[in-house]
Amino acid sequence: MQGLMQRTPLLLSSLITHAARNHAGREIVGRSVEGPVVRTNWGEVEGRAKRLANALARLGVREGERVATLAWNTQRHLELYFGAIGSGVVLHTINPRLFQAQIEYMLEHAEDQYIFFDLSFAALVSALAPRIKGVRGYIALTDRAHMPAIDLPNLLCYEELLAAESAQFSWPDLDENAASILCYTSGTTGNPKGVLYSHRALLLHSFCAAAADGLGLSCMDSVLTVVPLFHANAWGLPFAAAMCGAKLVFPGAELDGGSLFALTRDEACNVVAGVPTVWFGFFDYIDRNRDKLDLGVFHLDRALVGGSAAPRSLIARFDRDFGAFLLHAWGMTETSPIATIGRLLPKHAGLDREARYDIQAKQGRPVYGVEVRIVDDAGQELPRDGVAVGHLVVRGPWVTAGYFRGEGGVVVDAENWFDTGDVATIDSDGYVTLTDRAKDIIKSGGEWISSIALENAAIGHADVLEAAVIGIPHPKWVERPLLLIRCKEGKVVTRQDMRDFLADKVARWWLPDDVIIVEDLPHTATGKLSKATLRKLYANHQIAPESAPAAAP
């Protein structure tokens, strides 16, 4: 027997309709690429998204076709999220930090019809244009006064395009499984692969992101969205915020600690979201300007941090400086992205701070909708005992079933489990602790050393800004850990200091055989430490003679 409820399709356009009708005046604030902070609201975003939908139709972009963005987090990029997607056009959000050759590949592979770009990327677009055949036009996300002086075929001005259109548009009744966003993952080897999200997947993901045991979002929240709109849908924040009428605050192209500090303060942000590197910069700014700054005026309550492991020291900093709870989440482009979130359980109520930080440093428990488990090399499930280490596999309605155009072949098993490429433990409460990417784990004397755990321990040192651990070949132990650290400005940490500091924090045989102080550490386009680059750079590194390899187990 069938139920008798309405079969309303789960479409992302319903979110902007809801936000505009019920939270029209709730602000969207962002630093524009032109410079000033600009203010709009959900009502205006809807009107402009509809103008954009009309413009796309006039340009001849049809349902299912792709348009690309090369853009920062701004109100215009948000309009594209709703205007393009709502009208059935697929929004291909490109990470502008990728290599030009990768961007070219993605534009060709996606067959993008138009490229919407921020002024910051005018030179990049000029360089790409002669090489990309299928693109029909380029739309600069600015007004006439700021149009870039570049010579491009079919160069259009976004504000003029919108001004010429009506703000009346009826969102089409799409199939809820229709594609909405296309986002390529940038593996360290091979071509990027496209993850193609459906409306249904991202709408369900919004419920999970907003839920009390997710981000706990409401119309009372003001959310600084540092995580880019071009990276895994900004962790679903634009959609979740529209669902509850939360205020969104966008940093534009200004991602340095000082700018983020000012925006968080001035816009009374109580929620912030971004990768750890961003917050290292934020707290470094605070450290360097401590006597001039008043932290007492902040409203910060929670920081959503993921993309790389949030070290314990960062968890403590948010707590100490702002009384804010760092919500540690894990996910990937292929999981839309939220899969686990580090909320506490009732039994943790009485924990002291230090014990609570230990729980927060784990990558969290699965949100409803995503199932997780760890398996051995043969695919057999391993126990949830917090000790067994295995390949982390996931499945659920917002987990990918396969990449765009079948790249990479079949990526899920017969029961839909997707191998994340991460290695983890799961404890009896369901908390996932990531030990490594499978390819980064250090195999020493037949045992595994977690580079993430070592990095987190090293970064706990007061003078260390950032740390990276890679395995380097060793004649006896196969691989041994090499620690690279970037010190805070004006601070010096020696190799011996670091080994002494780590001595009571990790097993003796985990102690890095060498510690190198570096000026800078390489990052990938998504802000993660680039271990592949480091492995290449230090492939022939000789362990310092006085460093006797520690005893393996």
- Positions annotated as catalytic residues are 185, 334, 443, 448
**Applying CB under 6 A, does 451 fall inside the site for ligand AMP?**
no
State whether residue 392 is helix, strand or coil: strand
**Applying CB under 6 A, does 434 fall inside the site for ligand AMP?**
yes
If the CB atoms of residues 270 and 420 are measured against ligand AMP, the closer one turns out to be 420
**Residue choice 13, 75, 270, 308 for contact with ligand AMP (CB under 6 A):** 308
Binding region for ligand AMP (CB under 6 A) out of 12-20, 327-335, 453-461, 494-502: 327-335
Torsion of CA 454, 522, 434, 287, to 10 degrees: 70
**Residue choice 309, 361, 367, 483 for contact with ligand AMP (CB under 6 A):** 309
If the CB atoms of residues 18 and 437 are measured against ligand AMP, the closer one turns out to be 437
State whether residue 145 is helix, strand or coil: helix
**Applying CB under 6 A, does 437 fall inside the site for ligand AMP?**
yes
Amino acid at the residue 495: R
Contact 424, 366 (CB under 8 A): no
Q: Cβ of residue 57: shortest distance to ligand AMP, in angstroms?
A: 32
If the CB atoms of residues 56 and 202 are measured against ligand AMP, the closer one turns out to be 202
**Applying CB under 6 A, does 337 fall inside the site for ligand AMP?**
yes
Window 356 to 385, contacts with ligand AMP (CB under 6 A): 363
**Applying CB under 6 A, does 229 fall inside the site for ligand AMP?**
no
State whether residue 353 is helix, strand or coil: helix
Helix, strand, coil fractions of the chain, as percent rounded to 5: 35, 25, 40
Q: Cβ of residue 319: shortest distance to ligand AMP, in angstroms?
A: 17
Beta bridge partners of 432: 364, 426
**Helix residue ranges per DSSP H, 185-329:** 199-210, 237-244, 257-266, 276-289, 312-322
**Applying CB under 6 A, does 315 fall inside the site for ligand AMP?**
no
Q: What's the rounded Cα separation, in Å, for the pair 271 and 299?
A: 9
- For Cα atoms 288, 293, 299, give the angle at the middle one, nearest 5 degrees: 120
**Applying CB under 6 A, does 306 fall inside the site for ligand AMP?**
yes
**Residue choice 255, 332, 432, 459 for contact with ligand AMP (CB under 6 A):** 332
If the CB atoms of residues 74 and 308 are measured against ligand AMP, the closer one turns out to be 308
Q: Cβ of residue 365: shortest distance to ligand AMP, in angstroms?
A: 13
If the CB atoms of residues 245 and 369 are measured against ligand AMP, the closer one turns out to be 369
State whether residue 165 is helix, strand or coil: coil
Kindly report the length of the chain: 553
Distances (CA, A) of 101 to 96, 139, 191, 471, 491: 11, 21, 10, 29, 38
Q: What's the rounded Cα separation, in Å, for the pair 384 and 64?
A: 42
Window 509 to 528, contacts with ligand AMP (CB under 6 A): 526
Token pair, residue 405, equals 């155009």
Residue 156, CA atoms < 13 Å, CB-side half-sphere: 19
State how beta strands 247-250 and 27-31 pair: parallel
Token pair, residue 139, equals 């739309």
Binding flags for ligand AMP, 156-195, as an x/- string (CB under 6 A): -----------------------------x----------
If the CB atoms of residues 235 and 298 are measured against ligand AMP, the closer one turns out to be 235
If the CB atoms of residues 309 and 314 are measured against ligand AMP, the closer one turns out to be 309
Binding region for ligand AMP (CB under 6 A) out of 44-52, 86-94, 414-422, 471-479: 414-422
Binding region for ligand AMP (CB under 6 A) out of 14-22, 208-216, 288-296, 324-332: 324-332
**Applying CB under 6 A, does 232 fall inside the site for ligand AMP?**
yes
Amino acid at the residue 439: K
**Residue choice 47, 86, 307, 471 for contact with ligand AMP (CB under 6 A):** 307
**Applying CB under 6 A, does 215 fall inside the site for ligand AMP?**
no
Is residue 445 classed exposed, middle or buried when 0-12, 13-18 and 19+ CB atoms within 10 A define those classes? middle
**Residue choice 23, 66, 200, 328 for contact with ligand AMP (CB under 6 A):** 328
If the CB atoms of residues 83 and 342 are measured against ligand AMP, the closer one turns out to be 342
The kind and range of the H/E element at 266 are: helix 257-266
Task: Using only the alpha carbons of the chain, give its radius of gyration.
Answer: 24
Q: Cβ of residue 403: shortest distance to ligand AMP, in angstroms?
A: 12
Q: Cβ of residue 62: shortest distance to ligand AMP, in angstroms?
A: 29
**Residue choice 72, 298, 330, 477 for contact with ligand AMP (CB under 6 A):** 330
Binding region for ligand AMP (CB under 6 A) out of 119-127, 303-311, 349-357, 373-381: 303-311
Binding region for ligand AMP (CB under 6 A) out of 72-80, 301-309, 442-450, 541-549: 301-309
**Residue choice 422, 455, 466, 514 for contact with ligand AMP (CB under 6 A):** 422
Beta bridge partners of 478: 444, 474
Q: What's the rounded Cα separation, in Å, for the pair 19 and 30?
A: 18
Neighbours of 372 (CB within 10 A): 24
SS3 for 459-501 is CCCCCEEEEEEEEEEECCCEEEEEEEEEECCCCCCCHHHHHHH
Size of the site for ligand AMP (CB under 6 A): 19
The kind and range of the H/E element at 447 are: strand 447-449
Contact residues: ligand AMP, CB under 6 A: 185, 232, 306-309, 328-330, 332-333, 337, 363, 420-422, 434, 437, 526
